[in-house]
A = this chain, B = another copy of it.
């Protein structure tokens, strides 16, 4: 009986169990072991043991489009009654006819307009409630999972493994900071103060006697590409020792982290699994991975091959 208990406990404690044995898992374990080992020349004190993770395509999926864009489309439908002008104005008109492709044909300007109109002129509290309401019921069109079930099981295990070894884990995402914070603690174990993202300008106002933070329809900060090291500096004020991403939007973040003096680790998730998820890289509009795929290996970055390195992909329903 004692033997059985020990055996169960040992399995439960096995870190990174959804990662297959191999060079990728070994590189991660070796790095974490070395920086946590007080007798190692690569030892790093816990306060500096900071790991930053991109979100879309790194911690959760981003196909067939960014999930925040799914939320924006939902908001158009929910808000349409208060915006009769949308019936004749793109990209809203196409969306309201159900033609997502036509709506998004306007490219980034259309997407920015969509996000501004659906994410602003509400209080931060109202916006957080709208995000949570949507996540409670919305389903992914391919898998039928809730969006918060479209998170990668191996990455949940990696976050746990890092925290068990004294790391502090941050999200550094191009997605909206206020779109992520309502749910990242429950889903990833990452509290709001450890989430860095893009933001709109926010105003403090006393409305009918009630102090309120109002989201303005104006970009404040874009936490992508060259913005990621800036966002890290603004929010954390220290240089992380580990960075994990999946696209060229993470290039500068990995470059900044892995150029630090002392030990560091850069990790790129390569979407190679067309069967269990999606396969895309250089030619994708979403999560384009080109330069980082070319230069990553020479820079010592670990490239995760999703198809061969991961035993499981999505966390799925509990």
Measured CB to CB, the residues of A under 8 A from B are 47, 124, 177, 181, 191-193, 195, 199, 202-204, 206, 210-211, 213, 226-230, 233-238, 252, 255-256, 259
Contacts and interface: CB of A to CB of B under 8 A. Distances in A.
A237 B202 contact: no
B226 A193 contact: no
A226 B202 CA distance: 10
A225 to B, nearest CB: 9
Contact of A204 (B181, B192, B230): B230
B259 A210 contact: yes
B199 A238 contact: no
Contacts of A211: 229, 252, 255-256, 259
Contacts of A229: 204, 211, 213
Nearest to A170: B193
A177 B230 contact: no
Interface centre among A199, A227, A234, A238 (most CB of B within 10 A): A234
B255 A226 contact: no
Contact of A191 (B47, B192, B204, B213): B47
B206 A230 contact: no
Given A191-B237, A199-B234, A203-B230, 17 more contacts: A124-B233, A177-B237, A181-B237, A192-B236, A192-B237, A193-B235, A193-B236, A193-B237, A195-B237, A203-B226, A204-B226, A204-B229, A204-B230, A206-B255, A210-B259, A213-B230, A235-B235
Contacts of A226: 203-204
Contacts of A203: 226, 230
B233 A202 contact: yes
A237 B237 CA distance: 17
Contact of A202 (B177, B193, B234, B255): B234
A228 B256 CA distance: 29
Contacts of A233: 124, 202, 213
Nearest to A202: B230
A152 B10 CA distance: 51
Contacts of A210: 259
A191 to B, nearest CB: 6
A143 B88 CA distance: 70
Give the top 7 A-B pairs by smallest Cβ distance, nearest first.
A192-B237, A204-B226, A204-B229, A211-B259, A181-B237, A211-B256, A193-B236
A213 B236 CA distance: 14
Contacts of A47: 191
A238 B202 contact: no
Nearest to A232: B213
A255 B227 CA distance: 32
A301 to B, nearest CB: 14
A212 B256 CA distance: 8
Nearest to A184: B237
